[in-house]
Amino acid sequence: MNRTRIGFLGGLGLGAALMHASGRRRRGDGTSDGVLADRVRAALGRAVSHPGAIGVEVQGGCAVLTGHVLERETRELMRRVGRVAGLKGVEDHLERHGTPVGVAALQGAERVPPRRFLERDVWPPAWRIAAGTAGLGAGLWGLCRGGLTGKALLVGGGALVTRAASNRPLSRLTGVGGARRMIEFRKTLLVHAPIDEVYSFWAHVENFPRFMEHIHEVTRDPRDPYRSHWEVRGPGGVTMTWDAEVTRHVPDEMFGWKTLPGSGVEHAGVVQFEEVGDDTTRVHVRMTYNPPAGALGHAVASLLGADPKSRMDEDLLRFKSLLEVGRTRAHGQQIARDELYGPGML
């Protein structure tokens, strides 16, 4: 049984490596920006119901998307565009809408983008059972056969089993062929505190370790107050570091940040603030990140108790407690509100 597990994991790892190498050959192939823009526009037609609502500009091999898109079509859009051959990256500046009501660019009959049978993000149970069974059989046959054919069967079988078990597209599982920012999660919550206090809390990134368990320390660059250095505890207790910069800064309205180029983990966050009463603030949190191993690394992290989506729910509960009650518990110790950084730094 142990040899079987090791064989599957090794085969899956080999497959991911081969796919990643193939992806590197496709990207950055010297294609002109004009040709890349045409390829991106063609991808839009296969991904969204109103491709004309999205503007495309390609600069230095990187696509910049602007305009309007329906929320339910965003994932497929970014998947399609991220797979465009020769494209180095994607910058997402789209405005997302739950419905087309009130958005002129999204009016008119909705066309259904063409989609291949096996390209559905979520497979029904019957597909998953069939794929998982086939993958298991192929993997066992590969173990017995050995040689190049056996390795190929291990890779294919491991990929099918993983796809069926996770119910996610392989492009998201391997980090190959997806958009630059692979994983996104959002959260909205009410905080019973004045909007200026809530904004000030987020605007001081040094406060993040006070309520985010996985963040060990954030220090601001003394030469540039809009840049900071982060130390984050990753899977297995491994410490990861990166540098980030403030990208949006509108007092009592919005605060955003992102990692600097060259960081091992691409991460960005935007927090919007809405006053709904004298002492009540609605907070909209959106975070995106691309871990080194794509969503496969994300899955491994979740097995070790470091899944960012579940962690974010817990972190935001601590954030509420700090501002509403004045205390919380993080990193195994009590954290008091008077320990937080206050106004006046930005």
Full-model pTM: 0.48
User: In the predicted model, what is the mean pLDDT of residues 151-160?
Assistant: 79
Q: How far apart are CA 106 and CA 232, in angstroms?
A: 41
What is the chain's length? 346
User: In the predicted model, what is the mean pLDDT of residues 164-181?
Assistant: 56
pLDDT band at 229 (very low <50, low <70, confident <90, very high): very high
User: In the predicted model, what is the mean pLDDT of residues 152-174?
Assistant: 70
Q: How do residues 270-323 score in pLDDT, each as one tens digit?
A: 999 999 988 899 999 888 877 665 554 554 454 444 555 677 778 888 888 888
Copy the structure tokens of residue 344: 């006046």
Residue 264 Cα distances to 158, 241, 257, 294, 313, angstroms: 27, 8, 16, 12, 24
Under a CB-based contact definition with an 8 Å cutoff, are residues 322 and 340 in contact? yes
| pLDDT tops 60 at residue 255 | yes
State the CB neighbour count (10 A cutoff) for residue 144.
8
Q: What is the mean pLDDT of the chain?
A: 75
Q: How far apart are CA 43 and CA 34, in angstroms?
A: 14
Copy the structure tokens of residue 1: 């049984």
Q: How do residues 261-275 score in pLDDT, each as one tens digit?
A: 877 677 888 999 999
pLDDT band at 254 (very low <50, low <70, confident <90, very high): very high
Q: Is 60 left (phi over 0), alpha (psi -120 to 50) or beta?
A: left
Q: How far apart are CA 157 and CA 5, in angstroms?
A: 12
Copy the structure tokens of residue 150: 């056996």
Copy the structure tokens of residue 46: 């296969």
Amino acid symbol at 183: I
Beta bridge partners of 242: 230
Q: How do residues 68-119 score in pLDDT, each as one tens digit?
A: 998 888 888 888 888 888 888 788 888 898 888 878 888 765 555 555 545 5
> Whose CA is closest to 93, among 247, 227, 312, 259?
247
pLDDT band at 122 (very low <50, low <70, confident <90, very high): low
